[in-house]
């Protein structure tokens, strides 16, 4: 029997609620598909700060490095916002991504048929949406140096640096090419090269690398236009290739095409070594502890983990089908409710999904 060791980081806010569902789902899948999954739970984020004084303890990072894959819920809370930056839960997340060299963040945006009416946009506009945001994850303005505050000025001043070298752009472009080749072979690279030098290097490098693959059709778009086009005609996109900050913003925007940010999964990957599979959403402090969060983004992340991280394709498909069945029967969490559907709690929709597995 195949045996996997995964690390589960349930983090903060709604994290423990959606993780509980994910654990049960993984256990059922492992039984049905005949593999053994050891789920090692570790503290990470605000909760780790509370106990160890750091959001990403070495012990947690070491376990992650030794695992087959990491499943992460979400981190953060307003109560940590006044901490020194390196102590905040979000910094822990950046440290984890960087420690595992997870330069490629894959965010698939797929409309599930039964949720066509849940989108904030008209059905006709979203019905053909099936795109993937390929976001560079460990460079750009998130990590650029120098950064900080200037203290010897009259008025408060702070700054960050948006920087990429061509190697960083090349490796994420290679990932986008690989993904596009399994799909419609279209890459739209999103940048701000009309203003930023770093974006000009991005554009030139992407062109240089993609032109070596004759199957790929490349287009370029400025990020402001891309935001507009994602709302005007999102069906035009296949693979969106972009940098760290732009990818962060555009993927939350794209999430709403699917009906809820609670539906969007992601995979953070390296060319080798364990990946981190994480929903796109945050810790949703406004609904935490109420058992009303949508666990599906995390379940779809678990599905990506099964498929990409563990090669358990059938189990991943089983899970996705179970999710679709439950949604098509009209069961929804509150974020997707439209009055005609039955509103279930986080744990209830989890149980419905487990019953369909």
Q: Which positions lie near Mn ion, rule CB under 5 A?
A: 248
Would you call the peptide bond into 48 cis, given omega within 30 degrees of 0 as the criterion?
A: no
What would you report as the CA-atom Rg of the chain, rounded to the nearest whole angstrom? Answer: 20
- Residue 283 touches which member of ligand NAD, ligand IPM, Mn ion, none, C-beta under 5-8 Å by kind: ligand NAD
Q: Tokens in use for 211?
A: 């032109």
CB of 138 to ligand IPM, least distance (A): 10
Active site residue 213: no
Binding mask 64-83 for ligand IPM (x = CB under 6 A): ------------x-------
Active site residue 117: no
Cα–Cα distance measured from residue 99 to residue 97, given in angstroms and rounded to the nearest whole number: 6
Is 135 annotated to bind a ligand? Reply is: yes
Among 287, 306, 323, 357, binds ligand NAD (CB under 6 A): 287
CB under 6 A: which stretch of 89-97, 197-205, 219-227, 256-264 binds ligand IPM? 89-97
Query: Rule CB under 6 A: is residue 100 a binding residue for ligand IPM?
Result: no
DSSP character for 229? Answer: H
How many angstroms from the chain centroid is the CA of residue 236?
A: 21
The residues, any chain, with a CB within 8 Å of residue 335's CB and separated by 6 or more, are: 259, 260, 261, 262, 293, 294
Q: Tokens in use for 310?
A: 């563990």
Query: Rule CB under 6 A: is residue 135 a binding residue for ligand NAD?
Result: no
Cα–Cα distance measured from residue 178 to residue 174, given in angstroms and rounded to the nearest whole number: 6
CB under 6 A: which stretch of 7-15, 90-98, 172-180, 308-316 binds ligand IPM? 90-98
The smaller minimum CB distance to Mn ion, of residues 279 and 350, is found at: 279
Residue nearest to ligand IPM (CB): 90
Contact in structure between 293 and 287 (CB atoms under 8 Å): yes
Q: Give the dihedral sign, CA 169/170/175/180.
A: positive
The smaller minimum CB distance to Mn ion, of residues 275 and 350, is found at: 275
- Residue 238 touches which member of ligand IPM, Mn ion, ligand NAD, none, C-beta under 5-8 Å by kind: none
The residues, any chain, with a CB within 8 Å of residue 166's CB and separated by 6 or more, are: 201, 205
Cα–Cα distance measured from residue 158 to residue 144, given in angstroms and rounded to the nearest whole number: 14
Q: Tokens in use for 57?
A: 């303890």
Cα–Cα distance measured from residue 301 to residue 154, given in angstroms and rounded to the nearest whole number: 47
Is 292 annotated to bind a ligand? Reply is: yes
Query: Rule CB under 6 A: is residue 293 a binding residue for ligand NAD?
Result: yes
Q: Tokens in use for 104?
A: 């490629």
Q: How many residues bind ligand NAD (CB under 6 A)?
A: 21
Query: Rule CB under 6 A: is residue 280 a binding residue for ligand IPM?
Result: yes
Binding mask 21-60 for ligand NAD (x = CB under 6 A): ----------------------------------------
Cα–Cα distance measured from residue 32 to residue 247, given in angstroms and rounded to the nearest whole number: 36
Active site residue 68: no
Cα–Cα distance measured from residue 50 to residue 11, given in angstroms and rounded to the nearest whole number: 11
Q: Is residue 138 classed as helix, strand or coil in its secondary structure? A: coil
Active site residue 224: yes
The smaller minimum CB distance to ligand NAD, of residues 242 and 294, is found at: 294
Query: Rule CB under 6 A: is residue 93 a binding residue for ligand IPM?
Result: yes
Q: Which residues bind ligand NAD (CB under 6 A)?
A: 14, 74-77, 90, 93, 261-262, 278, 281-287, 293-294, 297, 335
Which residues define the annotated binding site for Mg(2+)?
224, 248, 252
Catalytic positions: 142, 192, 224, 248, 252
């Amino acid at each position: 029997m195949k045996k996997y060791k995964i690390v589960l980081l349930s983090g903060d806010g709604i994290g423990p609620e959606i993780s509980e569902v994910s654990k049960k789902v993984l256990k059922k899948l492992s039984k049905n598909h005949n593999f053994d999954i050891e789920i090692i739970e570790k503290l990470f984020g605000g909760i780790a700060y509370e106990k160890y004084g750091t959001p990403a303890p070495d012990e947690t990072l070491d376990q992650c490095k030794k695992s087959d894959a990491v499943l992460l819920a979400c981190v953060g809370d307003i109560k940590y916002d006044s901490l020194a930056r390196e102590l905040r839960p979000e910094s822990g997340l950046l440290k984890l991504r960087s420690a595992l060299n997870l330069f490629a963040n894959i965010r698939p945006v797929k409309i599930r048929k039964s949720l066509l009416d849940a989108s904030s946009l008209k059905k006709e506009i979203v019905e053909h949406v099936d795109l993937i945001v390929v976001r560079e994850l460990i460079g750009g303005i998130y990590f650029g140096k120098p950064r900080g505050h200037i203290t010897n000025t009259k008025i408060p001043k702070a700054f960050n640096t948006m920087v990429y070298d061509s190697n960083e752009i090349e490796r994420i472009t290679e990932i986008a090419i690989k993904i596009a080749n399994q799909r419609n072979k279209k890459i739209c690279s999103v940048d701000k090269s009309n203003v930023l030098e770093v974006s000009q290097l991005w554009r030139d490098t992407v062109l240089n690398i993609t032109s070596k693959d004759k199957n790929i059709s490349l287009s370029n778009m400025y990020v402001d236009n891309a935001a507009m086009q994602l709302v005007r005609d999102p069906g035009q996109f296949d693979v969106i290739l972009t940098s760290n900050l732009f990818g962060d913003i555009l993927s939350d925007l794209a999430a709403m095409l699917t009906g809820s940010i609670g539906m969007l999964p992601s995979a953070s990957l390296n060319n080798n070594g364990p990946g981190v599979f994480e929903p796109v959403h945050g810790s949703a402090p406004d609904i935490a502890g109420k058992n009303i969060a949508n666990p599906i983004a995390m379940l779809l992340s678990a599905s990506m983990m099964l498929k990409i991280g563990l090669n358990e394709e059938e189990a991943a498909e089983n899970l996705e089908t179970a999710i679709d069945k439950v949604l098509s029967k009209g069961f929804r969490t509150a974020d997707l409710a439209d009055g005609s559907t039955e509103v279930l709690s986080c744990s209830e929709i989890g149980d419905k999904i487990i019953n369909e597995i």
